[in-house]
């Protein structure tokens, strides 16, 4: 927050109070990290908007020469990637969810504060890395989805696609980590009394979103790793000449792609489900139905990705199946829309700007959803896909849906975040300009789609009947630009104003309004007990004779009690390691584009920051009283975090193994699975199984408090791990030198080396982790109370062992099975 | 990025209003997806209309409910009033608005699944005319294996006869889209997709590549000429005739220039220049044997007129940025001679 | 459809009813009206399965046979579990040597494996032919379906604290894992191009269906009916989960003064 | 997976060494069986189902005992079970989708 909001008299010290530049660089308070996310994504919002205006101006008239072809391709690609990965997701997940989750569930902070800071720094470095293309006129230019073999080195030789590939990998790490963090926070750190069915609906939306993130991003990571190997090492994962097929990229991308659009949609549903009840003074209609709709959308979203690929010819059976599942997903969305209208029905509506945006959301999102149902049926999709009809559909869903919800959220939660109200008059101006500009820009795109204007064309001939609508849209697009400028003015003016706003200006219903606005650094003075849905509304208007109601009349204890409460709260200290981790990742990315040794430098930075974070706090691995109080049936957050991470690793290895089995039948020539050496790998399997045994013995020893034996077993496990790695290095070199199985010219070779190599890398990471543990045990730092650290390392190690069991069977023992 | 952006901005605004008005009057929409001219397109159109009607019904219900709710229940800001009834669930209502959409979806799914299986037949009658469509980076090549004819960017098909398009790609993923004659089908390297249709109304129809395929994706257009049976026979006969060898005059001079210029490396004129053996590069240009017979030039970007041809040969990059055709540096008399020769290849 | 039921099935249904009545008398407790209703519904469903459906399948209709199996696996056991109150089973189950056995059998993994074994085993051509050829084995198979079906539904619907049901999220996981064996059994039958079970090849099929069409219809009954059925069960589990949480919800008291929400001045102290 | 201890799972009832050794022995036996099945000529026709069953058994053993799913709260089982189920569904559907491509579309013909 460049302009430090002036301290208002009588205001308790808010989270924005202390910390200069160093305070902001090392902060791990979820509210300050959220503000950092908010600022950077607002900046990228205007960058994306600028790219959109360039695209619209180029299309204003036929045969326009404002932008050259490749500049236009770069602009529309960056508009898509920026708006999705650097604006909507960071705003919804990094800014609003990050700020509000702990406040809404009555927690002091997120489950892993340092990972929260780390995911911000990784996000900002990834975004800057991808946008570095502005300097050399080499921005990514193959569309936000980057379909295969146009992204191969042969067809896009420049560094454009490298920036996109590595940038997305870095952004993926950031989103995956924040998803993991919020999942554990919501499941594990709800205040007493707040069961799943009493959480605010925004918490349900974020819980389901984090599950989607955890299980969708691995598919994108696998696809990007294959593209990275294709472009840098010369493998042919998507090149048809060697028997591979570019359709594999489309499958992997859209397995991530459709859950991704729900990762963006569900937080917006949550925001709307929070705004509507407050300004209608009525509880949300059909709470159970809404939660059920969220869960059903999440489950079905993994079964619908094929509707992006109807025109690639997957065959009638696949088209019919994906069409049915895609239409099924419209049912839960219908439940939500009707429930929102029922929430507004019969209420006393206060038409603030936030309410205007929420109501406009319902209308615009319905239009977008219904135009979506049209191309869920394959015959219609053959006419509509890759035409401007699709552009109209997803802008109605993304802009009319997500952006309206985000703007509504800004107007609704701004007093909570900054302690000031956004000006309603400016807000009204901005709302009407946005609605007119939005509908004017994007509704004619339905006509252009029906009139056959394809997507992503940098110019079009005259006489096709498209010119009028394109010019009309460009004019309205500038109107939108003006609306967003008004929004910026509104934000800046409110930060400079002196106007003090009470803690609860909207007489709202959820817990975050029970603390001060802006809230103090430690959120809650004493942990709240919740007795029903809309916890704060019950505190204000609930009957006071209900059993178990605490003595203090209102939610806010008296100031004196607050001061006392303030003292005993222990806030974790700021730390430099998240910034170091992100810097290490950035250096690795830059190294991949320049020299290999820079990659190793980056990896070193990464290792230092991880080990540093590991031992930064004296209580690492200990379950403090504070953290145990609020756990979900006594389950430790760190263990739940590891299990969630292993869950997403399951999907990661599933994609890798399916690629191996799919490509095994398509190998055109050269050595194939018959060259694999079974005796050697059988020995490796025994080695890994024994290392698992040693691991659990080490854990048993630590839990008994036996320091000597725990060190011995840990060194034994790490040693056996090394033996396994040695076996693998020997096997790879024998295959490469003796059997001439190379990655570059053999489809089986590349899938085999990638799959077993990735597993080998996981084993290597495990070995390093175990050696660090072993030395810590040797030096006495791993007491019995910190046995959880060894248990978590054990979970990771056993998971790596399980994956090897699957690989050993599917790859080695079934080598003679030809067709998968 | 173009530095002159700021200065010329106002000019565009003036131009917008003028061109907008004239354009709106133009009636012809060549790429209109709602004008079916083949059995495949009519099948798609029927499902299109049904689903759109169901969508509009649901949209009307939502709009009416929403605006009624807004106008009946909104209050002036701060106006006192009694607390609204805090009802928050009603089982009958919730079941209704779950069952309703499911019913509508069943009514949509039945025609959709039936249309899916009709539009992708596994096998087609023997007498269907097979047309091999080969997509290159930014132009289309058409071949008639049973007739031995070959053309580029313009395909002729007989009306009222089953046509079986076999789609192959020579480089990246493209998408073969003829809005009037049926949906699009991606052209994926490594597999042969197919579209099977019977064109009903003779005429000239526009088509364009729909899958982003690089710099000049926007300039990868093609024309489909649906001819009557005898019109198609006449066209095939023309295509099979050997190329015209001009005896004298400017055209013959152009022929000589054509032979020793690098044109012959990538382009083929039957009988005069095959692909030279020593050129291993995978790239090939369109077949120019009957170039003059085509109405458009450079994959539907320019009309086939001598001066358009001259601008194209002089500098292909301005017409199609990223085009793989090099700038030959021909000028003046040589250029007009070559143009005359090419225009003589009827 | 003539209602001539197989004598052993008739005896079974009446026996169950009498047993239920005697147990209620002996333990001198009346089952709740809802439980009685569900139990009668279970008996009716069993009668429908053993009566007309069994007769239809005897006349050679494959899909009729599959619907009968679906009744025995998906309809009768849940109704039985809803109908039989826990206090009626308690004296039997809590015997010293029965409880560990019951605990092992109703363990989710065990119940799942037993049901999958029976369900998949029955559809292996060899076993199926044996079933169609000799009636005693056929009846034994149907009993096996009923028993393994009841075991399968136990972790989802048990009312006995000694053998508790699974927590709700795991019930959903248990349910969706169930889709895999069902698809594995139904898919080959539906998609196979030849008649899998020879007994149906040379038997006349009612409603004029060809043997292959009958088989595809039977396959679809198993595949689609079961997956749609499971989505309804998933909805029912979610609904029960949402009911279980809103235990004591305090009454709302109307605020005394009408609330003036002018944004400027702060709200009166709570 | 262990509902019998009711909702409040006992966090600190750790299995001791003998349990682990027993599991290790079973795992080793299963691995030896797998390799034997691979090399046994008469088992080749039924190789795939046998190997899958053995691998599944080892998978469940390691997950239940080494990773304490048998002893810990049920939430971890769901946390690991759902993604596993999703992984199976994604893998199966990718295999079926590409099997269709291989069966119905003619292989790569150099386009010249």
Q: Where exactly are the structural domains of chain A? A: 30-496, 669-813
Q: pLDDT for A9-62, tens place per residue? A: 444 567 777 778 888 898 889 999 999 999 999 999 999 999 999 999 999 999
* CA nearest to A243, candidates D92, D101, B281, B140: D101
User: What pLDDT does D3 receive?
Assistant: 35
- Enumerate residues 98 to 137 of chain A having a beta carbon within 8 A of any beta carbon in chain B: 137
Q: Is the pLDDT of residue B91 over 80?
A: yes
Question: C interface toward B at CB cutoff 8 Å?
Answer: 252, 254-255, 258-262
- Nearest chain D residue to C160 by CA: give it: D4
**Chain D residues near residue A245 by CB distance under 8 angstroms:** 98, 101
Q: How close, in Å, is residue D16 to chain C by CA atoms?
A: 23
Q: How are beta strands B221-227 and B154-158 bridged, if at all?
A: parallel
Burial (Cβ within 10 Å: 0-12, 13-18, ≥19) of residue A620:
middle
CB of C258 less than 8 A from some CB of A: no
Specify the DSSP element, H or E, that contains A641.
helix A637-664
**Chain B residues near residue C259 by CB distance under 8 angstroms:** 80
- Enumerate residues 25 to 84 of chain D having a beta carbon within 8 A of any beta carbon in chain C: 74-75, 77-78, 81-82
What value does the mean pLDDT of chain D take?
79
Q: Is the pLDDT of residue A291 over 50?
A: yes
CB of A50 less than 8 A from some CB of B: no
pLDDT category, D7, cuts 50, 70, 90? Answer: very low
Interchain pair A284, B88: CB under 8 A: yes
Q: How close, in Å, is residue A655 to chain D by CA atoms?
A: 7
CA distance A280 to C261: 13
Interchain pair B192, D105: CB under 8 A: yes
Query: What number of helices (H) and strands (E) belong to chain B?
Result: 9, 13
* CA nearest to B322, candidates A458, A387, A464, A64: A458
Q: pLDDT for B298-310, tens place per residue? A: 888 888 888 888 8
* CA nearest to A746, candidates A654, A675, A653: A675
Helices (H), B208-271: 229-240, 249-260, 263-266
Q: How are beta strands B139-144 and B129-136 bridged, if at all?
A: antiparallel
CB of A496 less than 8 A from some CB of C: no
Interchain pair B134, D104: CB under 8 A: no
Interchain pair B183, A383: CB under 8 A: yes
SS3 call for C19: helix
Look at chain C and count its residues: 270
Helices (H), chain C: 7-26, 33-48, 54-58, 62-70, 76-83, 86-93, 98-105, 108-123, 125-133, 135-157, 168-191, 198-201, 211-220, 226-245
Of B125 and A27, more confident? A27
> Chains B, C: CB contacts under 8 A, how many?
13
* CA nearest to B84, candidates B92, B73, B94: B73
Interchain pair B80, C258: CB under 8 A: yes
> What six digits make up the tokens of A649?
């690793």
User: What pLDDT does C268 receive?
Assistant: 41
* CA nearest to A455, candidates A395, A367, A389, A368: A389
Give Cβ neighbours of residue B202 (< 8 Å, ≥ 6 apart). B159, B226, B227, B228, B231
Give Cβ neighbours of residue A170 (< 8 Å, ≥ 6 apart). A122, A125, A126, A129, A585, A586, A589
> What six digits make up the tokens of B182?
């049926």
CA distance A443 to A396: 8
Q: How far is CA A820 from its chain centroid?
A: 33
Torsion of CA B19, B25, B27, B33, to 10 degrees: 60
What does the angle CA C164 – CA C168 – CA C174 come to, to the nearest 5 degrees?
85
**Chain C residues near residue A198 by CB distance under 8 angstroms:** 245-246
**Chain D residues near residue B192 by CB distance under 8 angstroms:** 105-106, 109
**B302 strand-pairing partners:** B297
pLDDT category, B78, cuts 50, 70, 90? Answer: low
Q: Is the pLDDT of residue A480 over 90?
A: yes
CB of A809 less than 8 A from some CB of D: yes
Domains and CATH numbers, chain B: 129-240 (2.60.40.420), 249-344 (2.60.40.420)
Give Cβ neighbours of residue A753 (< 8 Å, ≥ 6 apart). A732, A743
Q: How far is CA A680 from its chain centroid?
A: 40
SS3 call for A138: coil
CA distance A143 to A151: 10
Q: Match 């009394």 to its residue by tokens.
A: A193
SS3 call for D13: coil
pLDDT category, A255, cuts 50, 70, 90? Answer: very high
| E strand spans, chain B | 74-75, 129-136, 139-144, 149-152, 154-158, 162-169, 174-178, 182-187, 193-198, 203-209, 221-227, 296-297, 302-303
* CA nearest to A678, candidates C149, C77, D35, B144: D35
Interchain pair B83, C262: CB under 8 A: no
Considering only B147-161, B330-344, D8-22, which range has the smallest mean pLDDT?
Answer: D8-22
> Chains A, C: CB contacts under 8 A, how many?
74
CA distance A430 to A407: 10
Burial (Cβ within 10 Å: 0-12, 13-18, ≥19) of residue A301:
buried
Please state whether B148 falls in left (phi above 0), alpha (psi between -120 and 50) or beta: left
CA distance C170 to C157: 13
Task: Residue A533: count other Cβ atoms within 10 Å of its Cβ.
Answer: 23
> What six digits make up the tokens of B40?
């495949």
Cβ atoms B177, A454 nearer than 8 A = yes
Give Cβ neighbours of residue A732 (< 8 Å, ≥ 6 apart). A753, A756, A757
Please state whether A455 falls in left (phi above 0), alpha (psi between -120 and 50) or beta: beta
User: What pLDDT does B77 receive?
Assistant: 55
The full set of domain ranges for chain D reads 12-104
Cβ atoms A91, A169 nearer than 8 A = no
**B206 strand-pairing partners:** B223
CA distance D66 to D24: 9
Look at chain D and count its residues: 112
Testing the interface with D: which of B190, B195, B266, B287 to mutate, by most D Cβ within 10 A?
B190
Q: pLDDT for B185-239, tens place per residue? A: 999 988 889 899 999 999 999 999 999 998 899 999 999 999 999 999 999 998 8
Q: Is the pLDDT of residue B6 over 80?
A: no
| E strand spans, chain D | none
Cβ atoms B175, B211 nearer than 8 A = yes
CB of C259 less than 8 A from some CB of A: yes
**CA atoms lying within 13 Å on the CB side of residue A769:** 20
3-state secondary structure A747-784: HHHHHHHHHHHHHHHHHHHHHHHHHHHHHHHHCCCCCH
Radius of gyration from C-alpha coordinates of chain D: 21
Q: Which chains touch D (3 or more CB pairs under 8 A)?
A: A, B, C
CATH number listed for the domain at residues A669-813: 1.20.120.80
Q: pLDDT for C109-139, tens place per residue? A: 888 888 988 888 888 888 888 888 888 888 8
CA distance B159 to B165: 14
Q: pLDDT for A691-740, tens place per residue? A: 999 999 999 988 888 888 889 999 999 999 999 999 999 999 999 999 88
Q: pLDDT for C39-56, tens place per residue? A: 888 888 888 888 888 888
Provide the edge-to-edge strand list for the sheet that holds B193-198.
Answer: B149-152, B139-144, B129-136, B162-169, B193-198
Share of chain C above pLDDT 90, in %: 1
Measure CB to CB from residue C173 to each of D6, D78, D88 and give the nearest one: D78
**Chain B residues near residue A747 by CB distance under 8 angstroms:** none
SS3 call for A790: helix
Cβ atoms B81, A407 nearer than 8 A = no
User: What pLDDT does A632 receive?
Assistant: 57
User: What pLDDT does A643 receive?
Assistant: 93
Measure CB to CB from residue A633 to each of D7, D54, D100 and give the nearest one: D7
Q: Is the pLDDT of residue B90 over 90?
A: no
What does the angle CA A136 – CA A140 – CA A144 come to, to the nearest 5 degrees?
160
**CA atoms lying within 13 Å on the CB side of residue A794:** 28
Q: Which fold does the domain A30-496 belong to in CATH?
A: Cytochrome C Oxidase; Chain A (1.20.210)
Interchain pair B192, D101: CB under 8 A: no
């Amino acid at each position: 927050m460049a302009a430090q909001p002036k301290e208002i008299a009588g205001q308790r010290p808010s989270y924005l109070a202390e910390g200069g530049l160093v305070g902001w660089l090392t902060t791990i308070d979820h509210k300050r990290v959220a503000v950092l996310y908010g600022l950077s994504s607002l900046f990228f919002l205007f960058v994306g908007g600028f790219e959109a205006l360039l695209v619209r101006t180029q299309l204003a008239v036929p045969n326009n020469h404002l932008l050259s072809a490749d500049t236009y391709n770069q602009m529309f690609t960056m508009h898509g990637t920026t708006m999705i990965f650097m604006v909507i997701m960071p705003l919804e997940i990094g800014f609003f969810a990050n700020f509000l989750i702990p406040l809404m569930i009555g927690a002091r902070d997120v489950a892993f504060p340092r990972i929260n800071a780390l995911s911000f720094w990784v996000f900002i470095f990834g975004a800057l890395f991808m946008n570095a293309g502005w300097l050399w006129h080499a921005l990514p230019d193959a569309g936000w989805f980057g379909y295969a073999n146009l992204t191969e080195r042969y067809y896009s030789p420049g560094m454009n696609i490298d920036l996109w590939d590595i940038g997305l990998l870095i952004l993926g790490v950031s989103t995956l980590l924040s998803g993991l963090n919020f999942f554990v926070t919501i499941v594990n750190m709800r205040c007493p009394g707040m069961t799943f069915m009493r959480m605010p609906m925004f918490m349900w939306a974020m819980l389901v979103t984090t599950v989607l993130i955890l299980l969708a991003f691995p598919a994108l990571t696998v696809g990007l790793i294959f593209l990275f190997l294709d472009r840098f090492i010369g493998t042919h994962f998507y090149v048809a000449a060697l028997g591979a097929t570019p359709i594999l990229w489309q499958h992997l991308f859209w397995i991530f792609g459709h859950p991704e659009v729900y990762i963006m949609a569900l937080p917006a549903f949550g925001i709307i489900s929070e705004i509507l009840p407050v300004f209608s003074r009525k509880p949300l209609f059909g709470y159970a139905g809404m939660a059920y709709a969220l869960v059903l959308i999440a489950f079905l979203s993994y079964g619908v990705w094929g509707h992006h690929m109807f025109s690639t010819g997957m065959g009638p059976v696949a088209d019919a199946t994906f069409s049915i599942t895609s239409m099924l997903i419209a049912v839960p969305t219908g439940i939500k829309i009707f429930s929102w209208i029922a929430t507004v029905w019969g209420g006393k509506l206060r038409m603030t700007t936030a309410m205007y945006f929420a109501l406009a959301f319902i209308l615009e999102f319905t239009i977008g959803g219904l135009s979506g149902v049209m191309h869920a049926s394959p015959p219609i999709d053959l006419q509509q896909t890759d035409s401007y009809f699709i552009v109209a559909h997803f802008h109605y869903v993304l802009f009319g849906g997500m952006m309206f919800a985000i703007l509504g959220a800004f107007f609704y939660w701004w007093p909570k975040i900054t302690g000031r109200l956004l000006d309603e008059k400016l807000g009204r101006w901005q709302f009407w300009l946005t609605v007119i500009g939005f509908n004017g820009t994007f509704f004619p795109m339905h006509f252009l789609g029906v009139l056959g204007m394809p997507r992503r064309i940098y110019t079009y001939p005259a006489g096709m009947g498209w010119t009028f609508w394109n010019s009309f849209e460009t004019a309205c697009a500038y109107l939108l630009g003006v609306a967003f400028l008004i929004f910026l003015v509104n934000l800046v003016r409110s930060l400079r104003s002196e106007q003090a706003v009470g803690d609860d200006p909207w007489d709202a219903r959820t817990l975050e309004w029970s603390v001060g606005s802006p809230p103090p650094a430690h959120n809650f003075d004493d942990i709240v007990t919740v007795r029903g849905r809309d916890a704060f509304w019950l505190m204000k208007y609930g009957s006071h004779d209900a059993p178990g109601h605490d003595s203090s009349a209102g939610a806010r204890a008296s100031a004196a009690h607050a001061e006392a409460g303030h003292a005993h709260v222990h806030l974790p200290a700021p730390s430099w390691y998240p910034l170091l981790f992100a810097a290490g990742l950035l250096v690795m990315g830059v190294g991949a584009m320049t020299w290999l040794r820079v990659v190793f430098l980056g990896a070193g930075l990464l290792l230092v920051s991880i080990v540093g974070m590991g031992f930064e706090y004296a209580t690492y691995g200990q379950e403090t009283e504070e953290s145990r109080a609020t756990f979900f049936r006594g389950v430790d957050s760190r263990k739940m975090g590891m299990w969630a991470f292993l869950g997403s690793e399951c999907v990661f290895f599933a994609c890798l193994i399916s690629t191996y089995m799919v490509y095994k039948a398509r190998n055109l020539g050269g050595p194939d699975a018959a060259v694999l050496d079974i005796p050697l790998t059988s020995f490796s399997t025994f080695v890994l199984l024994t290392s698992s045994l040693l691991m659990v013995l080490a854990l048993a020893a630590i839990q008994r408090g036996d320091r000597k034996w725990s060190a011995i077993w840990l060194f034994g496990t790490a040693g056996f791990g090394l033996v396994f790695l040695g076996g693998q290095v020997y096997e790879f070199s024998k295959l490469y030198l003796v059997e001439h199985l190379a990655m570059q010219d053999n489809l089986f070779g590349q899938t085999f080396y990638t799959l077993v190599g990735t597993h080998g890398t996981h084993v290597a990471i495990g070995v390093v982790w175990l050696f660090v543990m072993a030395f810590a045990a040797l030096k006495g730092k791993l007491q019995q109370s910190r046995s959880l650290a060894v248990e978590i390392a054990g979970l990771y190690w056993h998971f790596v062992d399980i994956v090897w069991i699957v690989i050993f069977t599917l790859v080695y023992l079934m080598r003679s099975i030809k067709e998968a | 990025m173009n530095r002159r952006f700021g200065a010329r901005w106002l000019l565009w605004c003036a131009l917008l209003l003028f061109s907008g008005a004239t354009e709106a009057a133009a009636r012809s929409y060549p790429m209109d997806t709602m004008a079916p001219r083949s059995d495949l397109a009519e099948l798609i159109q029927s499902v299109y209309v049904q689903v759109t009607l169901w969508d509009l019904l649901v949209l009307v219900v939502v709009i009416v409910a929403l605006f009624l709710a807004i106008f009946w229940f909104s209050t002036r800001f701060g106006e006192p009033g009694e607390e609204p009834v805090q009802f928050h669930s009603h089982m009958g209502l919730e079941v209704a608005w779950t069952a309703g959409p499911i019913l509508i979806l069943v009514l949509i799914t039945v025609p959709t699944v039936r249309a899916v299986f009709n539009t992708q037949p596994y096998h087609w009658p023997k007498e269907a005319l097979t047309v091999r469509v080969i997509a290159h980076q930014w132009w289309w090549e058409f071949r008639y294996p049973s007739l031995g004819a070959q053309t580029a960017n313009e395909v002729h098909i007989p009306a009222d006869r089953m046509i079986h398009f076999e789609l192959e790609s020579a480089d990246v993923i493209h998408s073969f889209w003829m809005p009037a004659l049926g949906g699009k089908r991606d052209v994926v390297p490594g597999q042969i997709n197919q579209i099977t249709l019977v064109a009903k109304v003779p005429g000239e129809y526009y088509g364009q590549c729909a899958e982003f395929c690089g710099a000049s994706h926007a300039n990868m257009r093609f024309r489909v000429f649906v001819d009557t049976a005898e019109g198609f026979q006449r066209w095939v006969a023309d295509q099979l005739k050997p190329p015209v060898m001009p005896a004298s005059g400017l055209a013959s001079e152009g022929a000589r220039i054509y032979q020793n210029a690098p044109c012959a490396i990538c382009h083929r004129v039957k009988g005069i220049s095959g692909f030279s053996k020593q050129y291993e590069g995978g790239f090939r240009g369109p077949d120019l044997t009957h170039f003059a017979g085509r109405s458009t030039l450079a994959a539907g970007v320019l009309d086939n007129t001598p001066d358009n041809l001259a601008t194209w040969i002089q500098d292909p990059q301005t017409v199609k940025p990223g085009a793989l055709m090099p700038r030959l540096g021909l000028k003046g008399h040589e250029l007009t001679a070559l143009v005359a020769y090419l225009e003589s290849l009827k | 459809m003539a209602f001539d039921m197989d004598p052993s099935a008739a005896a079974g249904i009446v026996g169950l009813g009498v047993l239920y009545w005697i147990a209620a008398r002996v333990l001198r407790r009346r089952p709740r009206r809802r439980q009685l209703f569900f139990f009668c519904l279970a008996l009716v469903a069993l009668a429908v399965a053993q009566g007309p459906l069994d007769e239809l399948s005897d006349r050679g209709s494959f899909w009729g046979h599959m619907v009968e199996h679906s009744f025995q696996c998906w309809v009768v056991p849940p109704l039985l579990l809803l109908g039989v109150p826990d206090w009626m089973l308690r004296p039997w189950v809590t015997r010293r040597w029965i409880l560990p056995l019951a605990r092992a059998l109703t363990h989710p993994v065990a119940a799942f494996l037993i049901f999958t074994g029976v369900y998949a085993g029955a559809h292996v051509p060899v076993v199926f032919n044996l079933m169609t050829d000799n009636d005693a084995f056929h009846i034994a198979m149907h009993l096996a379906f009923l028993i393994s079906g009841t075991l399968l539904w136990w972790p989802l619907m048990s009312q006995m604290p000694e053998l508790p049901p699974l927590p709700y999220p795991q019930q959903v996981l248990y349910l969706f894992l169930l889709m895999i064996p069902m698809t594995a059994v139904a898919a080959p039958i539906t998609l196979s191009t030849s008649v899998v079970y020879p007994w149906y090849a040379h038997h006349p099929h009612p409603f004029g269906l060809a043997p292959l069409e009958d088989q595809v219809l039977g396959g679809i009954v198993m595949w689609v009916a079961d997956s749609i059925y499971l989505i309804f069960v998933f909805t029912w589990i979610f609904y029960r989960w949402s009911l279980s949480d809103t235990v004591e919800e305090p009454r709302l008291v109307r605020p005394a003064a009408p609330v003036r929400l002018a944004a400027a001045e702060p709200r009166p102290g709570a | 997976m262990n509902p019998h201890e009711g909702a409040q799972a006992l966090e600190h009832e750790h299995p001791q060494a003998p349990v682990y050794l027993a599991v290790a022995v079973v795992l080793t036996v299963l691995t030896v069986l797998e390799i034997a099945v691979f090399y046994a000529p008469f088992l080749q026709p039924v190789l795939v189902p046998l190997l899958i069953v053995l691998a599944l058994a080892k998978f469940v053993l390691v997950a239940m005992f080494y990773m304490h799913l048998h002893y810990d709260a049920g939430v971890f089982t769901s946390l690991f079970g759902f993604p596993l189920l999703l992984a199976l569904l994604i893998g199966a559907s990718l295999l079926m989708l590409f099997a269709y491509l291989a069966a119905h579309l003619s292989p790569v013909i150099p386009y010249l």
